Amino acid sequence: MKPKMSRRTFVKVSTAALGIGVANASLRSGAAGADRPVRLGLIGVGRRGAGLLGILLGMPGVQVPAICDINGQHLARAQDLVEKAGRPKPEGYANGPEDYRRLLARSDLDAAVIATPWDLHTPMAVCAMKAGKYVAVEVPAAITLAECWELVDTCEQTGRPCMMLENWSFRHDNLAVLNMIRQGLLGEIVHCHCAHSHDCLDHWFFDPQGNIRWGGEFLVKRNADQYPTHSLGPVLSWMDINCGDRFAYLTSTATRSLGINRYFAKKFGAEHPNARRHYAQGDIVTTVVRTDKGNTIVINYDMQLPRPYDNRWMIQGTQGLYCEARQAVYFQGVSPRYHEWEPFGPYQERYEHPWWKALRDQAGHLGHGGTDHLELRLFVEAVRHQTQPPIDIYDSVVMSCIVPLSELSIAKGSAPVECPDFTRGKWQTRKPTFAVV
């Protein structure tokens, strides 16, 4: 049996293998060192925020001097979690919805980690950058075009990085596929399909008793792909979006809304208020993006009908393709049988990304199969060394802008809608940096 790596050895090896980005950083301050503590302020410690906090407390050198949540129970639970991890009790901020500003005004914080409802992400991230903090913000980073531009402008003006925490970009399989693409196995990429197919009615949009949660409020008032980033995250790096190509325009089409009403009628009876309520959100949204190069991406929103979880990633190039649903690949002239799939597993092992070579045995139990640990670890090390995090502001808003653009296209009868160039032309000369080690 292979001996287990000690925690101290793992920390040293994984930090090196993560390729933290020090060498190709654009934001080095020169003062940061390998042993420098990273002081984080957390804003929002509900279910998701508490999960992030638990992972962060397992990392060396992470300190949490302050936590903000308007829910006193959430705040107390998070403070207790920090103390149980052997750190001092963080100062709590719970004095109304604007109290996060007092937290961000502190001089003893290097970064803010934001895990609040969607409509609070941008104002909190902007405030944090203006206060001189690095920012890690949950998905989507923005829900309007104005917010997307505000994030970009603030990031450029302050020089403070803002990373959206799109964890599926860091998945073991997706990073192996990225390696395969960069090593030419698929040839030139021309098309990709992706989806977020996840029935969230009884645990996210509504609670088990049928009460509407904050996420469900968005289903009442908007008809859009409201959660595109988990499906789209890996696709950005696979297709070099913002690095030689960009989204040119999109069209979106929504089905009628039946799933929510049927769910409530079946579980709580036809007279339940939520069974009779009107929901703007269509059950399925299909978005087709055309890029400047002429490639296409199909994105599906599918979160309110009964179904198992699925992302349905498929990427196709001139030499072959990968299909996540089949866990299979086909490469012309390489696959053993003509026009027959072969298993993806051996390729994932052969093209495993260096990040996962360091983490696969140690972080598999730490949030979404280790992806949460990996993305947070990379963010923490970027803060520690004052370098650019792996997902920058341009990728963050390009993923997020699908929300308002799909809404606009649907409202216009599935008309084409132009996608803004948030890089202001820099996409033409930018080189890929995500997962380059």
Taking 70 as the threshold, does the pLDDT of residue 1 lie above it?
no
Band of pLDDT at residue 358, cut at 50, 70 and 90:
confident
Give this prediction's pTM: 0.92
Q: Residue 367: which region, alpha, beta or left (left: phi > 0; alpha: psi -120 to 50)?
A: left
Return the pLDDT at 368: 56
Taking 60 as the threshold, does the pLDDT of residue 218 lie above it?
yes
CATH number of 169-352+393-428: 3.30.360.10
Q: DSSP letter for 379, please.
A: H
Residue type for 358, please? A
Q: Domain locations in the chain?
A: 7-166, 169-352+393-428
Cis peptide before 140 (omega within 30 of 0): yes
Taking 50 as the threshold, does the pLDDT of residue 351 lie above it?
yes
Q: What CATH architecture is 7-166? A: 3-Layer(aba) Sandwich (3.40)
Return the pLDDT at 79: 99
What is the per-residue pLDDT across 286-317, written as a single tens digit (0 to 9) for each?
999 999 999 999 999 999 999 999 999 999 99
Return the pLDDT at 363: 46
Return the pLDDT at 361: 59
Phi, psi dihedral angles at 359 (to 5 degrees): -105, -15
Q: Which of 200, 174, 188, 206 is nearest to 244 (CA)?
A: 188
User: Which token pair is 380?
Assistant: 């923490």
What is the per-residue pLDDT across 6-21, written as a single tens digit (0 to 9) for each?
333 333 434 444 444 4
d(CA 330, CA 342): 6
Max CA separation in the chain (angstroms): 65
Phi, psi dihedral angles at 278 (to 5 degrees): -90, 130
Average pLDDT over residues 95-116: 99
User: Which token pair is 98?
Assistant: 């604007």
Taking 70 as the threshold, does the pLDDT of residue 367 lie above it?
no
Q: Which of 415, 426, 430, 423 is nearest to 249 (CA)?
A: 415
Average pLDDT over residues 368-377: 90
User: Which token pair is 223?
Assistant: 């008809």
Contacts for 91 with CB less than 8 Å, ≥ 6 apart: 65, 66, 67
